[in-house]
Structure 1
Amino acid sequence: MKLLILGGTVFLGYAIAEEAVARGHDVTIFTRGRSGSGAPAGVRALIGDRDGGLQALKQGEWDAVIDTSGYVPRVVRAGAELLADRIGHYTFISSASVYRDLSKPGTSEEDAVLELEDEATEDVAAHYGALKARCEAVLDERLPGRVLTVRPGLIVGPRDPTDRFTYWPSRIERGGQVLAPGPESAPVQIIDVRDLAAWIVSMTEARRTGVFNAAGEQGRVTMQALLEQCRSALNPSATLTWADEEFLAGRGVGAWKELPLWLPARGDTAAFTGLMQVNVDRALRTGLVFRPLEATIRDTAAWDAARPSDTVRRAGLMPEREAELLQAWLDAGSGE
């Protein structure tokens, strides 16, 4: 298969390119060349910019495109129109964030998606989900019957630039007393980037179309199970000190980024707790499988340990902040 990947040097794009090359496909990636992380061995790299710099894509034919870097409808449309007559199939990596109501568990592909109030907006930070939903619609309009839309949940594993999952294996491997966000039973729905990449390549090979949620198996992992598995795999001497939502929220702890994977069922995050419980039955029926959680934990910790020591972390508590919170929790008598 001749495969064109829009992206291909960062996280999911890299994993897809690596998987496709391993299966013997002829892989071309199109990137801006700015990530600094390089491309997997065995791929042909084209340099350009999706926003006005598509010259490198004006020649060539491909059996399929996998779009890992589409965020703005105007830009996605331009690429689709340029390639429409020279490709067979188009896989678009969207997001579970497209759903209008993520406050409840079990969101499925039939549920309503967000709409843009201002069709002219291109503010991805403010309207990420709605823009992704509009990109989906643009592709369905321009390439009817040829589009596979993948809506991932939280993707984790080696090369994750966000640190949203990486914080926990690395923090627990470091040992000592670890502040853990309650409740222990909170669901955590994660998918290893390599499992997702393998399934995406398989679906593209099969020319599957339609919409599929792609996340971890619903109800498979809780916060406690994840952190205990980190302890077991990396440092059994580490201790977990569980603090409740009221305490953490009362001290201004930032959900999701300052304490990764923590989505309190109160305040602004209450509207997004379903992000950790989306329905993936459709993807499971098409062959999506998951490696053992321990493998993801160990591999992520090993990758993180190999990064330069001065790497700026994008998520997680600073040591001083964690120590302060632990002391406050213990002083309040809540940790006994």
Structure 2
Amino acid sequence: MRVLVLGGSQFLGRALAVEALARGHEVTTFNRGQTGRDVPGVEVVHGDREVTADLERLVDGRSWDVVVDTCGYVPQVVGSAARLLSGHATTYVFISSISAIGDFPAKPADESSELWECAPDAGREDGDYGVLKAGCERAVEQGFDGNTLIIQPGLILGPHENVGRLPWWLTRIERGGRVLAPGTPDLPMQLVDARDIAVFTLDQAEKGVSDRFIVTGPPGNTTYGEWLQMCKDETGSDAEFVWVADQFLVDNEVGVWVELPLWSPAGPEMDNFWSASIAKATAAGLRTRPVADTVRDTWAWLREIPVDERWFGKSSHGIEPGKEDVILNKWASVQSSTDGTAQQA
């Protein structure tokens, strides 16, 4: 096939380009050329999807069997690309997010779940990430004249991750010492490797499927404790995990999801975050690798990057060492006081 990847130099987009090349497809990538490195073997077209002239230059004299949009976040922008690419491609694949589902994670999610209300021509100020992703889905379905395949991933990890979640944990655990571990080690998680999403997406695209799928790992494919232990094992660290209660972290103003990546305090609004249904995708052929393989391969990739060039160190993810020490010391004091009270009683 001829495959166009909008994006294609980072994380999931890169995984899709690599997988498509491995299958013998002809791959074109379209991105600004400002972040990430283009995959060797693809036809590279640099441009800005928000500039009409750049999109017109992209489609001039070209056509594809499949377009995979990995970097669409604003409905207005996505709709413009979908309309312009109509007639130049047979199938438009849009990489959305499970966050596009309106009542998730307070309620269970499957492909019949209602999306957030968001117009297909909404602008970037008309909602947050999940709301705008819902509008992007509508923009593709209404704007593209052809097959539309909507992929709603869950929590994605893997090599070339450009968010800094697993890379931050690996780097922090490698440093060793006392490590602030949030909540409870037996919390079941539901993680998926970007490469497995790429395989499933291209499998469906090759079949000409026009549908939507939630694509993530099996519920409980690891626990928080097991996941951090995998990071420790891979890095050969002497880290000592200190598990700190959710409420204590909230009381000490630890940033949910960001300061301790993938952590959120338990509560009814999060009841189903780690248990989305993948029954439909599994029936269609979704297969996922063990989380340990994802951790191993991410660490192998990370080790190839000089420490001072690891861009995610400049991102907002990860708690500052000083703040981590303060919280660990306060927690130790609370635990000591509690133990002393128990002994007196």
TM-score, length-scaled by structure 1? 0.92
CA distance in 1, matches of 2:10, 2:233: 30
User: 1:54 aligns to what?
Assistant: 55
Letter in 2 for 1:128: Y
CA distance in 1, matches of 2:303, 2:107: 35
Q: What are the ranges of 5 or more consecutive residues in structure 1 without an aligned counterpart?
A: none
Please report how far the alpha carbon of residue 264 of structure 1 lies from its aligned counterpart in structure 2 after TM superposition: 0.8
User: 1:136 aligns to what?
Assistant: 137
Conserved 8 A contact 2:179-2:241: yes
Conserved 8 A contact 1:105-1:277: no
Letter in 1 for 2:18: E
User: 1:26 aligns to what?
Assistant: 26
Give yes or no for the alignment of 1:305 onto 2:303.
yes
Spell out, residue by residue over 1:96-124, the C-alpha distance to the aligned partner (whole angstroms, 9 max, x if none): 11011123363111011101389643227
Q: Pairwise mapping of residues 75-224 of structure 1 onto structure 2 (< 5 A)?
A: 75-104=77-106, 106-116=108-118, 120-123=122-125, 126-143=127-144, 146-224=147-225
Letter in 2 for 1:41: P
User: 1:329 aligns to what?
Assistant: 331
Give the alignment partner of residue 295 of structure 1, picking from 273, 293, 296: 293
Please report how far the alpha carbon of residue 166 of structure 1 lies from its aligned counterpart in structure 2 after TM superposition: 2.0
CA distance in 2, matches of 1:51, 1:273: 37
Spell out, residue by residue over 1:194-229, the C-alpha distance to the aligned partner (whole angstroms, 9 max, x if none): 111122122211212211001111122221221223
Please report how far the alpha carbon of residue 174 of structure 1 lies from its aligned counterpart in structure 2 after TM superposition: 2.6
Letter in 1 for 2:30: F
TM-score, length-scaled by structure 2? 0.89
SS at match of 2:326: helix
Aligned residues: 331
CA distance in 2, matches of 1:327, 1:262: 20
Spell out, residue by residue over 1:253-288, the C-alpha distance to the aligned partner (whole angstroms, 9 max, x if none): 11101011111124xxx5345333211111111222
SS at match of 1:256: coil
Structure 1 residues 244 and 293: CA distance shift in structure 2, 3 A: same
CA distance in 1, matches of 2:329, 2:120: 47
CA distance in 2, matches of 1:280, 1:304: 30
SS at match of 1:8: coil
Conserved 8 A contact 1:48-1:55: no
User: 1:255 aligns to what?
Assistant: 256
CA distance in 2, matches of 1:80, 1:329: 52
Give yes or no for the alignment of 1:39 onto 2:38.
yes
Q: What are the ranges of 5 or more consecutive residues in structure 2 without an aligned counterpart?
A: 340-345
Please report how far the alpha carbon of residue 41 of structure 1 lies from its aligned counterpart in structure 2 after TM superposition: 0.8
Letter in 1 for 2:8: G
CA distance in 1, matches of 2:120, 2:205: 33
SS at match of 1:54: helix
CA distance in 2, matches of 1:239, 1:264: 22
Please report how far the alpha carbon of residue 175 of structure 1 lies from its aligned counterpart in structure 2 after TM superposition: 2.1
Letter in 1 for 2:37: G
Conserved 8 A contact 1:101-1:271: no
Please report how far the alpha carbon of residue 133 of structure 1 lies from its aligned counterpart in structure 2 after TM superposition: 1.0
CA distance in 2, matches of 1:298, 1:313: 23
SS at match of 2:199: helix
Conserved 8 A contact 2:121-2:139: no
SS at match of 1:260: coil
Structure 1 residues 321 and 260: CA distance shift in structure 2, 3 A: same
CA distance in 2, matches of 1:120, 1:147: 20
Please report how far the alpha carbon of residue 90 of structure 1 lies from its aligned counterpart in structure 2 after TM superposition: 1.1
Spell out, residue by residue over 1:9-53, the C-alpha distance to the aligned partner (whole angstroms, 9 max, x if none): 111111110111111100001111111x21111000111111123
Spell out, residue by residue over 1:64-90, the C-alpha distance to the aligned partner (whole angstroms, 9 max, x if none): 111111122222222122221121111
SS at match of 1:161: coil
CA distance in 2, matches of 1:273, 1:9: 34
Letter in 2 for 1:45: V
Percentage of pairs with the same residue: 38
User: 1:282 aligns to what?
Assistant: 280
Single out whichever of 136-145 and 215-224 deviates more from structure 2.
136-145
CA distance in 2, matches of 1:19, 1:120: 32
The alignment's C-alpha RMSD in Å is 2.1
CA distance in 1, matches of 2:79, 2:215: 24
Conserved 8 A contact 1:96-1:275: no
